[in-house]
Amino acid sequence: MLNHISTADLLVFFFYFIIVASYGYFIYNRRKNETNSSSHSFFLAEGSLTWWAIGASIIASNISAEQFIGMSGDGFFAGIAVAVYEWVGAAALIIVAVFFMPVYIKNKIFTMPQFLQNRYNGGVALVMSIFWLFLYIFINLTAILFLGALAINGLLGGEYFHQIMIGLAIFGVVIALGGMQVVGYTDVIQVGVLIVGGLAISYLSLTIVSEKFGFGTNMITGFNLLLKNAPDHFHLIFKKPGAGASTETITKYLILPGFAMYVSGQWISNLNYWGCNQYITQRALGANITTARTGILFASLLKILMPVIVMLPGIVAFVLYKNGHLPQLTNGSKDGAYSAMLSFLPSGLKGLSLAVLTAAIVASLAGKVNSIATIFTLDIYKKYMNKDASERRMVWTGRIAILMSLIIAVAFTWNDVLGIGSAGGYTFVQKYSSFVSPGVLATFLLGMFWKRTTAEAAVVGILIGFASSVFFNQFAVPVFGPNTILYSAFRNASGQYEIPFFISLSWSFLITFAVMIAISLKGPAINAKAIVIEKDMFKLKSSSVILIAVILLLLSAIYVRFW
């Protein structure tokens, strides 16, 4: 039974579905001949996305089920500190816009493996293509499907998990099959629904707190009640646990290890995600530098707003649950916090919340499978399987890759084979993505900005980055013990010693970076495939300088208030 959903809710939701589908079909039909015959048009939109479409598409693709459910859940558990992912991400986007994109665009880079091939060799590109395909399918797609189905299922009464999962997959395929243009421009609608609807839900959540505590429906009062009833949820830094610390305190530190994660771990994770990730950079790679840079900075500005939409309802759920006002949150499950909050919404607004969740999930699914198809088709199929493939054949190969990747993801998500539910959705994505982050980021940074870096160093770096991440996460404590000069491990909820994964990430990156430098020093002073860097590449227009200043001022104000 749809015991939480009214006819008005369903009408609102289907109206959203019709609008997005119709607009997507309009965009597809308008450029049908191009997307059917040109692989670059299908995969990259061939520079037709405007700056606002690029920025909106980046955010729509980034904010998905792992944010709405996982980040809201971590907000329920840990509080505002989890917003570090978004706010450091906003700062990282500035670095990507200023320093990374000029290198990509000047060198006509359309895929991340293409950069590796041009800078190093085909072997490095192939290894990373396979890495990325596995990561996107088995970590990202599965998490988006699992958490998305979990959230919507909770809102619909808890009986439709598998049906919803299939529905989301089909919706994602429908959007993605139209190519990057359809994905990019429908994302503008999706992000509009996401922001307007998300802010409305956050506003209503705060008024619910005020009402439940007997102060009427006042948003400001609701926020002040959060500060009063959960003061520990409004600190951006967790202190290192001392002797006798509770399991809850230790678990929070394992997820967000205080100031230490700001030294390098968060920057490594964010720069890898925003700057070396086909899924994100693809939106801007077909544009000129001004459009690409403005779009990315626009995304950075929107990124600052995201915790209000995806994290704040989790803190609201914590305060309500702690005071007995949220009995529908079974056993205090953090990944159920967002769905539990949605159950308070009046008729019609539940339909809007369904649209918000679906917009976020479908945009991410469509963007992710388009990136999978791009890497598979351009960097594996065209180079190693069918070098003479026509443009039309490549487009259809991409469409088949889209369909197959989602079928595989559904199969692995069906009974949660990978344990996403037990790990916690947001932590699952961040932790396992960090296994490849050190090697990838080191390879890209040194490849862009150090002319001496060799292909041999890149291959070793990628492998060392992965191996060292696995070592620090699985074997360091048994070999070296729980406390060393490099790290401090703590007993997790299962009683096992664990090193905070941002600390593991930092050491993995530093080891990888050092090894790559040592190997490259044995080669020529300037590698034959070195990137040519010119100062003019990094010059900023006054509009970009103003945008950057606004972003940094907003971030500074947040950190001064909640440090």
pLDDT band at 66, cuts 50/70/90? low
What does R_g of the chain's alpha carbons equal in angstroms?
A: 23
Residue 12's pLDDT is 80
Q: What is the dihedral of CA 215, 217, 218, 224, to 10 degrees?
A: 50
Residue 131's pLDDT is 83
pLDDT band at 180, cuts 50/70/90? low
pLDDT in tens, 85-94: 899 999 999 9
Residue 458's pLDDT is 93
pLDDT band at 471, cuts 50/70/90? very high
Residue 72's pLDDT is 84
Top-confidence residue, 442 or 378:
442
Residue 423's pLDDT is 57
Which residues is 497 bridged to in the sheet?
491
Looking at the predicted structure, is the pLDDT value of residue 5 above 80?
no
Residue 517 and residue 19: Cα distance in Å, rounded? Answer: 52
pLDDT band at 1, cuts 50/70/90? very low
Looking at the predicted structure, is the pLDDT value of residue 37 above 60?
no
Specify the range with the lowest mean pLDDT, choosing from 14-28, 68-82, 374-388: 14-28
H or E element, residue 1: none
Determine how many CB atoms are found less than 10 A away from the CB of residue 446: 22
Domains (ranges, CATH) in the chain? 7-416 (1.20.1730.10)
Residue 551's pLDDT is 96
pTM: 0.85
* CA 209 distance to own-chain centroid: 29
Residue 141's pLDDT is 86
Q: What is the dihedral of CA 26, 29, 30, 36, to 10 degrees?
A: 140
pLDDT in tens, 152-168: 777 676 778 888 888 88
Of all residues in the chain, the percent with pLDDT exceeding 90 is 31
H or E element, residue 77: helix 72-78
Looking at the predicted structure, is the pLDDT value of residue 349 above 80?
no
Of all residues in the chain, the percent with pLDDT exceeding 70 is 89
Strands 490-491 and 497-498: antiparallel
Which residues is 490 bridged to in the sheet?
498
Average pLDDT, the chain: 84
Residue 517's pLDDT is 97
Residue 424's pLDDT is 56
SS3 assignment, position 345: coil
Residue 35's pLDDT is 47
Q: Which residue, 209, 475, 439, is CA-closest to 318? A: 209
pLDDT band at 44, cuts 50/70/90? low
Q: List Cα–Cα distances, 374 to 201, 271, 330, 378, in angstroms.
A: 35, 21, 41, 6
Residue 508, token pair as written in the block: 């993995």
pLDDT band at 31, cuts 50/70/90? low
pLDDT band at 194, cuts 50/70/90? confident
Residue 27's pLDDT is 66
pLDDT in tens, 95-147: 999 999 999 998 888 888 889 999 999 888 888 888 888 888 888 888 888 87
pLDDT band at 185, cuts 50/70/90? low
Looking at the predicted structure, is the pLDDT value of residue 558 above 60?
yes
CB 119 within 8 A of CB 461: no
Q: What is the mean pLDDT of residues 518-529?
A: 93
Look at the block and give the residue holding tokens 């086909």: 278
pLDDT band at 22, cuts 50/70/90? confident
CB 438 within 8 A of CB 460: no
pLDDT in tens, 354-397: 777 777 787 778 878 888 888 888 888 888 888 888 888 888 88
Determine how many CB atoms are found less than 10 A away from the CB of residue 286: 23
CB 334 within 8 A of CB 139: no
Residue 430's pLDDT is 66
Looking at the predicted structure, is the pLDDT value of residue 493 above 70?
yes
Residue 471, token pair as written in the block: 């070592």
Q: What is the mean pLDDT of residues 36-52?
A: 62
